[in-house]
A and B are shown apart, each in its own frame.
Chain A
């Protein structure tokens, strides 16, 4: 009989979103969503008749979660209607954290903390599988060191499924230049003798579209956590047959989405496009949008652009523009047009323009405009 596994990781419960300019309500909403999405995943796993729910590391964001956070998480996991929930310590919530004691005290007998480097036979829980975990002991590993080396040497019997679960970076996929995040190679994973690898660490899903040969899976965060990750929150449901045939389905789990777009504005046409609206595949009220605007516009165009952004920004949960690269279109012609020859502004702007001092030109122009406006 095949087994179905709900595979999540990198939930980072307790993440504070202290960087960024989020307002307190947004910050609170983002924090809360990490719980609510967990709750939804647990329900979804039940609905989809998953026998096992696997969390492949970084369930918590740090090693000092509050007791309330631990209890809330455990309470959610306890509602899983399948046979067993397994939780692997990741590098953000490594085994060195004292809080795991509290977690285990709360967990009961259907939530299993995978803390040892030895096989966990799940048959006693009604799941015909043996798990081979690679838990993180600390935040960082020794360079190039990982926790899966022992697995290949363990004899794998037949009549039961062998599944690996590990947390760390994957060579060629995850950025880990210093090899401090339990770096694993595809070769090491594939030679371990298991039918499926339930991985955690990458906050973006991998692979995006699984092939028949794929057996190494990262679900990504269940809720995205920043603008550097544009994917929506996700999880996998793996179905593994007795023969080891794997069918994996990626679920979109997250409530919120961080999106970042670069927009070039060079004239009326671009402004019109902007006005028509930014194309998003996510509900705007659940979107955190950051636009990096680039280009040079006339003062009128610039004002119009700002007006459009001001209006359209309100529909998003969070809206931020980076206008560092956006400025007035100041050319020798526009200087001639606006200022009389030999006047001070004319001389100043022309000189800065001739020297190619774009920043100086922009700033001087802004200052001159301010002074004109003040008259």
Chain B
């Protein structure tokens, strides 16, 4: 699309004006307030603002251009060509509104929507692109650059900047948007576990998060709290209903019991009374019976005492008499026994004395003496055995005849022997060999040197033995043993006899016994002791029994006296009790009829027990009712203030709120992901051709072909590096007015990017204003060159700028 002309008739402060444009560079020159902005607005509105507008949009976009001089309609006409085909677009707003597009063949399109549709195709880019790039005010681009610079990177690649500039064409910083989304994401999802659809760390309403409660979590808590209230309400209601139901059930079941108890109350009381009276009568009968028996006993006791007191002395006297006789008989019997004992003791005494005499006739060899003899004999035998134990043997070779005396045994006699020369004589001896010659004596002994000592001991003992034997008149040890045994036996016999004697005598001495027997005198004649014992016992028993009976009767009589004072009083009491019993019997007779009528006592008792059981059950159920009513009151206090329906509504509302918030949060999460996707998918290579153009444009107007770089300074971006090469465009250039240069270069590159070779136009707003004269010229040349392939409409209020550029100069007069 190339603009041919623009007519305003009227629009804003311009009542009627037509501006014609050339294909290349068009410079619209005019002082401030001359109407340049109006022209720009008219171009914008005729291209993009439909005639049919909502009031708000009309107010926003059109109203301010209504003619100041009056009038209610605005009209703009735009001629343009596309691919050399002419078009004419007319629009009017306000009272007489309408849109009309004349097509190359002269055909008119008047339907608003159709006009819009056609324009979409004819425009060099989308409406958004036109607004943001092709027709943008330079200020917008500067803001974008500021945003890029403020993102904090120290060095920006040109490709980055171009990409950022394209992305942020609409004036929205990607980073700021990301931050906003992240911030909102946090506002929604804070402390919310999305995967488990619950609060983080499972912290429900019983242990809720206090800080950083995101919107989802807050809504969840609200719903959970509402749900909890509802559940609690339902629980209490259910419990309340259960108690109420139970209460009603019990109360209903008690109705029949209450009726029964009411109906049977009087019969029960009467039955109870009659049972009580019957009991009293029974007791009274017993009392009367006892009184009568007491009365009977009274006289019996009196009579008995009298009889016993009369007979008892005689029995006692008889008893004493028999007891005396019995004592005598007992003494006689004891003396006879002593006499027999005396006889036995005498016999045993004699026998003992005989034994003693016998001992005295025997030679004495005591046991001790015998043991000493035995010991001495044993010692002698032991010594003898040791002396003869070594046998000696030898021979004598006789060279010269000689006489010898040879002793071969211990005590045997020495043998005299004459030994002839040249003979041999064999010798054998037991333990000791003594050879005596007239000139010498040789004694040979076996064993060690103890022999002599033993021999001496043996000889001494032997001598002692022979002396003792001789003293006792004994032959040998065997006789000693016989004598000792005889002596021992005699001693034993005497001891036995003495013992028998002592046993028979017992504790008495012989003299005492003898005295008793001598002083006993003659034997008396009485009845047999056993008969007397029996008679005495009988009388004693009889007496004792009679005394006891007397005692008992006296006590019983005393008791009666104590109880009744006198037999007369007893009689009176009996009379009174009988009269009382008569009264009760009359009362009982009066109670007959009703429940008890015709019933046995057993039946009445059964009825009463049944009544009591039902009454107890009734009372117990009433107690239960009381407890249930208390529980009901307690539960009633716990009931929620709102009805369950209202609580349900609250839960539903909270649930809906939660869903809405979750839905929005979910959308936010998708946006967050989408932003990442978009940024990740951008291909830097897309911008390469435009990047080169931008470098060219920038170099052309900046004259920075020497590719010098500045050092980083402070916290500001240090510069702009071109690609991976070493060219760094210093930030200084951007901060001292060259920023406009960079912006212009960027703008031209972006226009190239969006138009992509299509026929289009670029509207620029005083692009040279901040440049130094040298750069203004370069920029002017660049724009003139640029206008060779793209129509440029440049607004300026500086005549000098207009002069610098070669193009169609359109002057706007104030």
Beta-carbon nearest neighbor of B177 in chain A? A371
Beta-carbon nearest neighbor of B184 in chain A? A367
Quick check: B128 and A336 within 8 Å, CB to CB? yes
Quick check: B639 and A62 within 8 Å, CB to CB? yes
B668 within 8 A of A: yes
Residue of B128, B176, B244 touching A346 (CB-CB under 8 A): B128
The SS class assigned to the B binding surface is: helix
| A340 to B129 CA separation, bound complex (whole angstroms) | 4
Quick check: B174 and A344 within 8 Å, CB to CB? yes
Among A271, A343, A370, the most chain B Cβ lie within 10 Å of the Cβ of: A343
Which residues of the other chain, B, contact A367 by a CB distance below 8 angstroms? 177, 180-181, 184, 671
Which residues of the other chain, B, contact A347 by a CB distance below 8 angstroms? 167, 678
Quick check: A340 and B133 within 8 Å, CB to CB? yes
Residue of B55, B167, B184 touching A343 (CB-CB under 8 A): B167
Within A342-375, the residues touching B (CB, 8 Å) are 342-348, 351-352, 357, 359-360, 362-364, 367-368, 370-372, 375
A209 within 8 A of B: no
| A370 to B754 CA separation, bound complex (whole angstroms) | 26
Give min CB distance, A218 to chain B, whole Å: 17
Beta-carbon nearest neighbor of A342 in chain B? B166
Quick check: A344 and B177 within 8 Å, CB to CB? yes
Quick check: B55 and A344 within 8 Å, CB to CB? no
A140 within 8 A of B: yes
Which residues of the other chain, A, contact B649 by a CB distance below 8 angstroms? 19-20, 226
B72 within 8 A of A: no
A16 within 8 A of B: yes
Q: What are 9 A-B interface contacts by the 8 Å CB criterion?
A: A18-B641, A18-B650, A96-B248, A137-B244, A300-B60, A336-B128, A343-B132, A359-B667, A372-B170
**New A-B contacts (20) at CB < 8 Å, excluding given A15-B643, A304-B55:** A18-B641, A19-B642, A19-B647, A61-B643, A96-B241, A139-B237, A268-B54, A300-B60, A340-B170, A342-B753, A343-B167, A344-B174, A344-B177, A345-B170, A348-B671, A352-B674, A360-B671, A363-B664, A363-B671, A371-B172
Which residues of the other chain, A, contact B668 by a CB distance below 8 angstroms? 363
Within A289-309, the residues touching B (CB, 8 Å) are 298, 300-301, 303-304
> Given contacts A96-B244, A324-B660, A371-B176, is CB(A64)–CB(B636) below 8 Å?
yes
| A156 to B649 CA separation, bound complex (whole angstroms) | 44
Within B144-196, the residues touching A (CB, 8 Å) are 166-174, 176-177, 180-181, 184
Which residues of the other chain, B, contact A372 by a CB distance below 8 angstroms? 170-172
Residue of B55, B125, B660, B667 touching A360 (CB-CB under 8 A): B667
Give min CB distance, B705 to chain A, whole Å: 30
Which residues of the other chain, A, contact B127 by a CB distance below 8 angstroms? 336-338
A335 within 8 A of B: yes
Quick check: A138 and B245 within 8 Å, CB to CB? yes
Which residues of the other chain, B, contact A357 by a CB distance below 8 angstroms? 667, 670
Kindly list the 8 A-B residue pairs having the minimum CB-CB distance in the complex, ordered from nearest: A96-B244, A19-B649, A336-B126, A340-B132, A359-B667, A340-B129, A337-B127, A339-B128
Beta-carbon nearest neighbor of A370 in chain B? B180
A341 within 8 A of B: yes
Residue of A19, A96, A340, A360 touching B674 (CB-CB under 8 A): A360
Which residues of the other chain, B, contact A364 by a CB distance below 8 angstroms? 667, 671, 674
Among B54, B248, B663, B670, the most chain A Cβ lie within 10 Å of the Cβ of: B54
Quick check: A18 and B642 within 8 Å, CB to CB? yes
Residues of A within 8 A of B (CB): 12, 15-20, 61-64, 92, 94, 96-98, 137-140, 226, 268, 271, 298, 300-301, 303-304, 324, 333, 335-348, 351-352, 357, 359-360, 362-364, 367-368, 370-372, 375
Beta-carbon nearest neighbor of A298 in chain B? B54
Give min CB distance, A21 to chain B, whole Å: 9
| A371 to B642 CA separation, bound complex (whole angstroms) | 44
Which residues of the other chain, B, contact A19 by a CB distance below 8 angstroms? 642, 646-647, 649-650, 653
Which residues of the other chain, A, contact B133 by a CB distance below 8 angstroms? 340
Within B100-147, the residues touching A (CB, 8 Å) are 120, 125-133, 143
Beta-carbon nearest neighbor of B166 in chain A? A342
| A304 to B54 CA separation, bound complex (whole angstroms) | 9
B633 within 8 A of A: yes
Residue of B54, B125, B172, B244 touching A368 (CB-CB under 8 A): B172
Give min CB distance, A30 to chain B, whole Å: 12
Residue of A15, A138, A375 touching B244 (CB-CB under 8 A): A138
B56 within 8 A of A: yes
| A62 to B644 CA separation, bound complex (whole angstroms) | 9
Which residues of the other chain, B, contact A15 by a CB distance below 8 angstroms? 643, 646
Quick check: A64 and B643 within 8 Å, CB to CB? no
Within B247-287, the residues touching A (CB, 8 Å) are 247-248
Quick check: B125 and A300 within 8 Å, CB to CB? no
> Given contacts A137-B244, A336-B127, is CB(A20)–CB(B671) below 8 Å?
no
Which residues of the other chain, A, contact B753 by a CB distance below 8 angstroms? 342
Give min CB distance, B145 to chain A, whole Å: 14
Beta-carbon nearest neighbor of A99 in chain B? B636
B57 within 8 A of A: yes
Which residues of the other chain, A, contact B245 by a CB distance below 8 angstroms? 96, 137-138
B666 within 8 A of A: yes
Which residues of the other chain, B, contact A337 by a CB distance below 8 angstroms? 48, 126-128
| A27 to B742 CA separation, bound complex (whole angstroms) | 64
Quick check: B241 and A138 within 8 Å, CB to CB? yes
Which residues of the other chain, A, contact B494 by a CB distance below 8 angstroms? none
Residue of A20, A64, A335 touching B128 (CB-CB under 8 A): A335
Give min CB distance, B17 to chain A, whole Å: 28
Which residues of the other chain, B, contact A368 by a CB distance below 8 angstroms? 170, 172, 177
| A12 to B642 CA separation, bound complex (whole angstroms) | 11
Which residues of the other chain, B, contact A344 by a CB distance below 8 angstroms? 167-168, 170, 172, 174, 177, 678
B632 within 8 A of A: yes
Quick check: B671 and A352 within 8 Å, CB to CB? yes
Give min CB distance, A175 to chain B, whole Å: 12
> Given contacts A16-B641, A341-B754, is CB(A348)–CB(B675) below 8 Å?
yes
B487 within 8 A of A: no
Which residues of the other chain, B, contact A345 by a CB distance below 8 angstroms? 170, 172
Give min CB distance, A133 to chain B, whole Å: 16
Quick check: A62 and B241 within 8 Å, CB to CB? no
Beta-carbon nearest neighbor of A361 in chain B? B667
Give min CB distance, A337 to chain B, whole Å: 4
Which residues of the other chain, A, contact B132 by a CB distance below 8 angstroms? 339-340, 343
| A366 to B173 CA separation, bound complex (whole angstroms) | 15
Which residues of the other chain, B, contact A18 by a CB distance below 8 angstroms? 641-642, 646, 650
| A16 to B649 CA separation, bound complex (whole angstroms) | 12
Quick check: B168 and A343 within 8 Å, CB to CB? yes
B240 within 8 A of A: yes
Which residues of the other chain, A, contact B646 by a CB distance below 8 angstroms? 15-19
Quick check: B128 and A343 within 8 Å, CB to CB? yes
| A344 to B184 CA separation, bound complex (whole angstroms) | 19
Which residues of the other chain, B, contact A371 by a CB distance below 8 angstroms? 172-173, 176-177, 180
Quick check: A359 and B663 within 8 Å, CB to CB? yes
| A290 to B56 CA separation, bound complex (whole angstroms) | 26
Which residues of the other chain, A, contact B674 by a CB distance below 8 angstroms? 348, 351-352, 360, 364
Give min CB distance, A348 to chain B, whole Å: 6
Within B42-74, the residues touching A (CB, 8 Å) are 48, 54-57, 60
| A357 to B244 CA separation, bound complex (whole angstroms) | 54
Which residues of the other chain, A, contact B754 by a CB distance below 8 angstroms? 340-342
| A347 to B682 CA separation, bound complex (whole angstroms) | 10
| A276 to B33 CA separation, bound complex (whole angstroms) | 42
Beta-carbon nearest neighbor of A336 in chain B? B126
Beta-carbon nearest neighbor of A297 in chain B? B54
> Given contacts A336-B126, A340-B129, A345-B172, is CB(A363)–CB(B177) below 8 Å?
no
Beta-carbon nearest neighbor of B640 in chain A? A62
| A333 to B121 CA separation, bound complex (whole angstroms) | 12
Beta-carbon nearest neighbor of B682 in chain A? A347
| A46 to B296 CA separation, bound complex (whole angstroms) | 95
Quick check: A343 and B643 within 8 Å, CB to CB? no
| A338 to B170 CA separation, bound complex (whole angstroms) | 9
Residue of B126, B167, B244, B643 touching A92 (CB-CB under 8 A): B643
